[in-house]
Structure 1
Amino acid sequence: MSDKIINKRDLNRVFRRGIAMQFSWNYERMQALGYCWTILPVLKKLYKGNPDGLKKAVVRNLEFFNTHPFMAMPIMGTSLAMEEKVAEGGDIDGTSISAIKVAMMGPFAGIGDSFFWFTLFPVCAGIGVSLSKGGSVLGPLAFLVLFNIFNLGTRYFGLKYGYKFGNEFIEKISGGAMMQRLSEGTTLVGLMVLGVMTATMVTVPLDFVIGEGEQAMSLKLIFDGIMPNIVPLLLTLGVYKLIKKGMSTTAVLFSVIGIAILGAVIGLF
């Protein structure tokens, strides 16, 4: 890394700051503020003397971000390698960095949840509980030590090798059309994930019944007969349109809550 702007000291600083990344979690952009704060010292170093470049880097790293907190470091390492190329005037642009983050955060969240919460945590807790049966203080200590070996190890080596392999990856694909194709591909994957989440996670219980007896049908069945899950789709597109027009996500959230309460009172939902 000696010929690079980012050195080992910079990565170690990102690692330490990354432990506190979740402290600023919010419902609007989730981990975005913590993500940007974690890498901000490196961004300032990369864009020293280039305030416009720094401003653009901060803005794109404040975009929506959410993944398993232990798995965020490999993504940070890769995106920092790409930021370094942008700062050096390389053949990539800021939209590619955003696209890579979007493409990586979903799969890494799944890996982190399945490994840390559903596999490692029960195993370490089981070892700790078994040691605690006799009243030994080694139980909780063993749990904390074992779990955090994997926790901190994943963060540290994920950041280190994310940056290292990110540089090698960029060198292989820069200078041609591959970066553009990769950016378009990752954007497409992100849109597909958004579509799946809309169909499976957004529900609008239109239970209001039209007709009587055997002819009675709920509004949900009527709309689903036109196109399955059309109402969640329209709701998602409506929220997107409002946000694009400048309405804050908090205002949109409370508006949806108000509509839900009103619909429940009048029997629509």
Structure 2
Amino acid sequence: MSKVITKQDLNKVFWRGIFMQFSWNYERMQALGYCWTILPVLKKIYKDDSQGLKSAVTRNLEFFNTHPYMAMPIMGISLAMEEAASDGEEVDGNAISSVKVALMGPLAGIGDSFFWFTLFPICAGIGVSLSTGGNILGPLVFLLLFNIFNIGTRYFGLQYGYKFGGDFISKLEGGNIMQRITEGTTLVGLMVLGVMTATMVSVPLGFVVGTGEQAMSLQQIFDGIMPGLVPLLLTLGVYKAIKKGMSSTVVLFAVIGIAILGAVVGVL
């Protein structure tokens, strides 16, 4: 197969892909941004075949929705298959569309598990720790750490997606790699959230029970049962409230109200 797509073409797709979400809509989600991102390369592939270009644009305007950071591997695979189709190989439009549909769901799950539930809490925890110590670099460190993975995933995902082409799916399916990655990142994310709950959520109970040498604060009593028990209960309560459909803003003001009331009556 003759190669039409160059590294410069892929770099152009990478930079355009950063703005893919700008045309998000409720009818086809990311489809318009997806097609716009790869359009210059499609024009290069089908420069002498107007009907082929029309068909390629039409199928790349079909419904598409995945984690925005994980869209690049799918673009790389799609472009490799479009290039093969334009060269007369046995790759039809239905196969290209099927690959997009097959990958966007699993990669969305991996992206959500890794970026939102694992990487974001870790980077935010590091940034918050620096900020609470008075270090102005806290927000910058958070942005730097998070975007190293963000940009790296986009860039190398596009490059390797194009390199592997249609074989990418079979490589991922072998040994249930996708399932293992999703489960692993979810587990790490939950562990990080548990650590952040214990170290960053503070509920100081100042109410004293008893008198004299026998006097003990509620904080000491709960710490004797299980250190960090009250922050854990508060976190679980907030989680349950949001899961039941309560607005996060309402939950936030409720926690603030409880804190003020507890301070007034001397419990907190």
- Same fold? TM cut 0.5: yes
Looking at structure 1, the residues matched to 28 and 163 of structure 2 have their Cα atoms a distance apart, in angstroms, of 28
> 2:67 matched to which residue of 1?
68
Letter in 1 for 2:100: K
The structural deviation recorded for 1:86 is 0.9
Say which SS state the counterpart of residue 165 (structure 2) adopts.
Answer: helix
Q: What's the RMSD between the two structures over aligned residues?
A: 1.7
Partner of 1:127: 126
* 1:62-90 deviation line (CA, Å, top 9, x unaligned): 00000000000000000100000111111
CA distance in 2, matches of 1:82, 1:147: 31
> How has the CA–CA distance of structure 1 residues 150 and 7 changed in structure 2, closer, same or farther, with 3 Å as cutoff?
same
Instruction: Count the aligned residue pairs.
Output: 170
- TM-score between the two structures when normalised by the length of structure 2: 0.61
The TM-score with structure 1 as length reference comes to 0.61
**What secondary structure sits across from 1:17 in the alignment?**
helix
The residue that corresponds to 2:21 in the other structure is 22
Partners of 2:32 and 2:88 lie apart in 1 by 26
Unaligned runs of 5+ in 2: 171-268
Q: 2:100 and 2:144 mapped to 1: Cα distance?
A: 30
Q: In the alignment, what sits opposite 2:108?
A: 109
**How far apart are 1:134 and its partner, in Å?**
2.9
Runs of 5+ in structure 1 lacking a partner?
173-269
Percent of pairs with identical residues: 76
C-alpha distance in 2 between matches for 1:111 and 1:27: 22
State the alpha-carbon separation in 2 of the partners of residues 143 and 168 from structure 1: 36
Change (3 A) 1:132 1:24: same
Please list the CA deviations of residues 168-215 of structure 1 after superposition, one character each: whole Å capped at 9, or x if unmatched.
Answer: 669x9xxxxxxxxxxxxxxxxxxxxxxxxxxxxxxxxxxxxxxxxxxx
Pairing of 1:223-242 with structure 2 (within 5 A) = none
CA distance in 2 between counterparts of 1:98 and 1:108 reads 16
Structure label with greater radius of gyration: 2
Change in CA separation of 1:139 and 1:58 when aligned onto 2, cut-off 3 Å: same
1:49–1:94 distance in 2 versus 1, CA, 3 Å? same
Aligned to 2:159: 160
- Matching residue's letter, 2:77: T
Q: What CA distance in whole angstroms lies between the structure 1 residues aligned with 2:166 and 2:80?
A: 6
Residues 124-156 of structure 1 show CA distances to partners (whole Å, capped at 9, x for unaligned) of 000000011133221001000000000000000
